[in-house]
Structures are given as C-alpha cells and as structure tokens.
Chain A
Amino acid sequence: MVTTTLKFATVGSVDDGKSTLIGRLLLDSKAIFDDQLEHITAVSRRRGDDVADLALLTDGLRAEREQGITIDVAYRYFATPRRSFVIADCPGHIQYTRNMVTGASNVDLAIVMVDARHGVVEQTRRHTLLVSLLGVPHLVICVNKMDLVGNHEAALKAVIDQFTEFAAKLELRDVTFIPISALNGDNVVDRSPNMPWYQGTSLLRHLETVYTASDHNLIDTRFPVQYVIRPRTTEHHDFRGYAGTMAGGSLRVGDDVVVLPSGLPTTIAAIDGFDGPCSEARSGDAVVVRLSDHVDVSRGDMLVRPNNHPVVTQDLDAMVCWMDDRATLRPRAMYTLQHTTRTVRAVVTDLRYELDISTLHRNTEATELGLNAIGRIALHTTAPLFIDDYHRNRTTGGFILIDEHTNATVAAGMIAERGR
C-alpha cells in the first residue's frame, strides 16, 4: 500500500502547549520507544513533577530543558496505518521566530495552538501571518487547555470569533478548529467524552484524512540546473549530464526546451533518476537530464518549455521576514541572494512598507525592518533571476538573503507580483 506523507508544523504563542501536544500525539499513537518514555519519566520525577512532561520528548537541548521552552525546531517522524507524518515542533517565543519560519517553510499543514484561557494573542497573529505568507495550504486551530476552562464550548466560540476577525484579511484557504487538551489527550487521538458538544473529528483523524492535493506546481515546467556531470573518463568521455531537482511541471524525453538565460532551444535526449533511465521527470524528482545539442549550460541556468517561461528579471518585489538580530534591513543595503541554484548580489531599492502584525496595516513610513518584522521590499540584482510568484511556485518564488559579512541567513523572501 502506498501511504502518503503529511508534513506539518506546530506554531502559536509560547507555552500554549505545542510540544506537549506533539508528545501526546506520539505517545497515544504508540510512536514512543520504551527508553524514551523511561527517560522523560525519570527527568520529570527528578524535578518533582507527578506526571511525565511530554514536552521533553521534543525539547532536546539543554537550554530548552532548563527554561522549559522550545528554542529551535525539532523534527519527529511517526506513522499510522493511514499516513506517515513529518512533524516540525516550532518554538513559540518571539525571540526564536526565525526557527519557527525554518520549521514552517515547507509544510502542508500548520497547527496553530491557542491557549483557551488567553485566546488569540499577538504571537498567534504573527505566526498565522507567517504561515499565510509562507503559503501553508491547511490550518488547524487547536484551542488547547480546554481542561482549564471547564471544557466549555464558549472558549472555543470566543477563539473562533477572534481568529476569524483577524484572518479575514489573510489568504487562508482551509481552516479547521478543534478544542483539545494536549495534557490529558482530549480530542487528540480519540474524541473525548469530556466535550460531548463537540461534533467534529479528533486531531489525529483530521491529520490522517485532510486532503492534500500535491503541493507541487504541475503546470509550469522549471528545471534549475544544480550540478553539471562530466565524467572525463574514457568510458563516458562525451557524457554531459545536467543534474537537478524538478521545481515544477514535468519533462519527457523528446520534449523541446529552452535554456535560460541564453534562450537557446534544444531537446531532452535522456532522463536518469535514482532507479535508472526514465521517460518522464515530475516536480520534486532529482534527475540527470541530457540534451540533444551541445549548448552551454551551467549551474544556475534553468530549463523551461518554449511557451511557458518564468519572469526573467533583475528587479523583484517581495514580502520578507527579517531574521537578523545584529542589523536591520535598510534601503540601499547590499546582500547575497540565493534563489533556486542561483546566487547573485542584490541591493534593496525600496522598503515599500512594514506590515503591522496586529492590524495588518501597511506602514509606508517605515525606514527599516528590525528582527522579526515583516515587510514589502523591492530588490535589484546583479544578474537576472528566473522567477515566479511565490503563491504559484514555492521553489521558484522563494529566496533567502545572506549578510555578506557574517554569512548569516538574514531574510526569507517570497516573491510577489508587482502591484499586488
């Protein structure tokens, strides 16, 4: 049987119960090994807790255990008979927003945790905004700690109202609300008798059944060349293969293609994947492509179809999340920009606005973006990029900015159509 994989992240404010929920999900679906359970039970007992702290299953760093918070994203894997899951347990603390962005950048679904007692708070809004900008297709709002509000339906209703009001201005396609207690496991794996008024599914059932159409863009063929394979051995003297991962659409042997940026036309002569020669490569496949003509192709070039090109440009508009704690983003600053397999230099030509996290108001007076700020910028690059709108293609629409002195990754960028 072929099971599909669902990648999901837990996000939301600090202490709302994300790590506890992951621990609960792993424990109740029997994905915890005996020695791991013994370990967290012993650590919890040593601290004087009467029950095992399930967050310790993912909070693996010394500093996290000392402070009782998550600092960096933890990856966990588990499977049920219906599906396999990759979990990214993200930190809620504002200081570690960049790690949350790391964890949520390529997931199919995000669980936004909300403490039933506090409702939607600033950090809930920030994470929801980021998840929306990152184009995560599915959202589950888990109203957690229902045990602390008497399991009353009113707490769920309040969160639905607050969330819906805020999210009206965001592009969210699929939002589901589930009231839970991560601590006690209510509505996590099974529906709980403690909330008889709740008619929906348990969280795990939802995760097992949520329909995820392929995250890949199946229409626009994009093949960024990652590595040129030239054996220089006597046996394969004339072999020239272009290795890379399909970033959209598909390619078949015999297809006409165009090489960007040169614009030279050629034809696909052969495709090799891990399992050997194949007639077709689809989005996500790592393959080696051979061409019929001796055209000049190197890393950073892109193969596309003659009638479906990305935008070739040195000027782009993008939403960015600023992630550097040492410097702010300012107009005229210069960065290294990494986009698909291409690396160029880029100058910030305009800071169009900063987005207010709470009101989503666009502040066009902003002069810089500080740590964790989100804004819209314009960039000019030293060489052309082959881009698509991020919401059409996460691979050809996403980029990172790198500080040229510290080499740190300082911004995540999502390309937007001009004027949109």
Chain B
Amino acid sequence: MVARPLVDESISIIREAAAQFERPALLFSGGKDSVVMLHLALAAFRPAPLPFPIMHVDTGHNFPEVIEFRDRMVEQFNVQLLVASVQASIDSGRVADVQGPRSSRNVLQTVTLLDAITEHRFDAVFGGARRDEERARAKERVFSHRDEFGQWDPKQQRPELWGLYNGRHRMNEHFRVFPLSNWTELDIWEFIREQRIELPSIYFAHRREVFRRDGMLMAATPFVERLPNEEPFDTTVRFRTVGDASCTAAIESTASNYDEVVAETATARVTERGATRADDRISEAGMEDRKRQGYF
C-alpha cells in the first residue's frame, strides 16, 4: 500500500491551493501522474464536484488512445475540460512550427500554456511533476512562484517551511503547485495498482510499429519524419511516460497488467526520462532552461 502520509500530504496541498487561490486549474495530459493527481483532487473535495477546471495542453501530436481516454475521464468524473492548442498558437502566428525529422512540438507548449494562463486569468496551475523525475525538478518548491512572464527563478525560491505554503503574488504572476512532489515513479504505480486506476492502454504492453533512434524506440506515427536508415518494425512495447508523440519513446516490455508493471518499475535500471524522452537529452540543463521559461 502506498504510504498514507504521502496521499494525505498531496490532498492537503490541493486543498490549501484551492483555499488560497481564486482561479486554479489542473493540468491534465492523460499521463499517469496527471491521472493520479486528478484522482487525489477529486478525493480532496468529495462529495462536492472538483472546484476548478482541468486543462490539456494539446500539441496536436497525440496518441489517439490518450485523447480517447481523456474524453472518457472527463465524462466519467464530470469535470470541466479546457484544451489549449499548440496548433492554434501556430495558426495564429504566436509560435512557428518546427520542421524536420528531429523536431518536436514539446518546447512550443510553453507559449500555449502561458497564453492560456493569461487568457483564463489562472493564478495557480496544478502540475503532476515529481522531484524524483529530474535534477532541476528535485530543487523545486511545492508552491512554485512564476513572475509576470511565467518564468521560474531557481535562485530566488521562497523558503518553504513545515506545511506552510505562501501563495501570495502580484497581479499577473502565478504559481505552479506540485502535489506529487514527494512521490516516486514506484509510488505512482503502486497507487495505481492499489486503487485499480484506469490509464491509457499504451501504458501496458502492446504490439506497435516502431523505429530505433538514439537507442530509443520511437513510435512510427505521421508526426515523425523518419531518416532513411530508420526502418520501422513491429514489436511489443509499452510507454513509461506519455507526452508529445514526436518525442516520447516506448520501451520494450511485456508487462501487460498492474502487477507486471509494478515489478518492472521496481527493478528498472534507467530513469523514466532517460529511457523515454528524446528532448531531455539535449543538454546538461535542458529541463532547467525550459522550466525557467515557463514550461511545466
């Protein structure tokens, strides 16, 4: 069983943010962390409905299984869904689309996200990031301040003591709130198993057409241009993270149910980002740089 203090801490953080902020929203990608976060948020206010909307930043490069899942969850839990579209940002000229075999719309999401925060006047957005994911995330506060440009300043983080969270801010500034800060990937999976939480099917082993790039297995989708030597082939894979289809790799796996995925996670020798995120390999401080600009 996942330690109840971890669950209780997350619920307490979600309620605290709902109490302190006027217009929060919960970022929902359909990935495992955001699904767990949504379940905890629903539990935090039960039997009342979720007191804020959920928002999907949609790159347009999706796995169809994830969109289908997202819409089903919205119906099942009766929550309000907002979609912030990267395609719309491109069409309106806010950002230029990226081209070529190694391009990904992942970084473009920052502009779309910040525009949506401004448009809806959100003063807090819940994110499902965990500190164990990445070394810059390991440094971030639970209530993380963003200036009027949506930027994170890792050298000026507010002290955060005990369970006291300071969400005070000026107009046009906002906070990112991370209720799952202290969860590990294994905690997430044990919780999913224990609560029998439904996930997009691509988290479990399935046959898929993939190709090999930089030692990773990329899904052969219409969104990725393949290089001449990148021959697609069929194999059994699953996804450890779900993000933009053009930069999220699959792993070879036959784990097809909760128990098998938990067992695989417990013995993994590579981090989830190391195994699956093409974009995180860019540089030593890739994540920090993106986060400074306002990324999730």
Contacts and interface: CB of A to CB of B under 8 A. Distances in A.
Interface of A: 5, 33-36, 43, 57-63, 65, 71-77, 84, 86, 98-99, 101-102, 105-106, 226-227, 229-233, 235-236, 239, 243-245, 272-274, 284-286, 288, 299, 323, 336, 338-339, 341, 394-395, 398-400, 402, 407-409, 412
Contacts of A408: 158
A191 B230 CA distance: 51
B132 A71 contact: no
Interface residues of B, number: 54
B59 interface: no
Contacts of B5: 5, 284
Nearest to B158: A409
Question: Which secondary structure characterizes the binding site on chain A?
Answer: mixed
B270 A398 contact: no
A181 to B, nearest CB: 25
Nearest to B156: A408
A320 B138 CA distance: 27
Most buried by B among A63, A71, A286, A409: A286
A60 B138 contact: yes
Interface string B131-149: 1101110110100000000
B15 A227 contact: yes
Given A65-B284, A102-B159, A75 B12 contact: no
A33 B15 contact: no
Given A407-B169, A407-B170, A60 B163 contact: no
B159 A286 contact: no
Interface stretch (B25-33, B44-52, B113-121, B241-249): B44-52
B274 to A, nearest CB: 3
Q: Which 8 A-B pairs have the closest CB atoms?
A: A60-B135, A35-B274, A286-B8, A231-B48, A407-B168, A105-B161, A62-B285, A227-B15
B159 A99 contact: yes
Contact of B136 (A61, A98, A395, A409): A61
Given A77-B182, A227-B18, A233-B48, A409 B8 contact: no
B288 A60 contact: yes
Contacts of B184: 77
Nearest to A4: B3
B236 interface: no
Interface string B250-284: 00000000000000000011110011000000001
A73 B159 CA distance: 10
Contact of A285 (B8, B134, B141): B8
Interface of B: 3-5, 7-9, 11-12, 15-16, 18-19, 43-49, 131-132, 134-136, 138-139, 141, 154-155, 157-164, 166, 168-170, 181-182, 184, 268-271, 274-275, 284-285, 288-289
A104 to B, nearest CB: 9
Contacts of A36: 271, 274
Nearest to A236: B47
A101 B134 CA distance: 23
Nearest to B273: A35
A395 B162 contact: yes
Given A101-B159, A106-B162, A226-B19, A286 B12 contact: yes
Contacts of B275: 35
A73 B136 CA distance: 11
Given A34-B269, A61-B154, A226-B19, A412 B182 contact: no
Most buried by A among B46, B132, B135, B168: B135
A29 to B, nearest CB: 15
26 contacts: A36-B271, A57-B135, A63-B155, A65-B284, A65-B285, A77-B131, A77-B184, A99-B157, A102-B141, A227-B15, A236-B48, A239-B47, A243-B44, A244-B15, A245-B8, A274-B11, A284-B5, A286-B7, A286-B15, A336-B168, A395-B162, A395-B163, A400-B161, A407-B168, A407-B170, A409-B159
Given A33-B271, A35-B270, A239-B47, A72 B162 contact: no
Contact of A101 (B3, B138, B161, B164): B161
Given A61-B288, A323-B159, A400-B159, 4 more contacts: A61-B135, A77-B184, A341-B16, A407-B166
Contacts of A58: 135, 138
Given A76-B132, A338-B166, A43 B7 contact: no
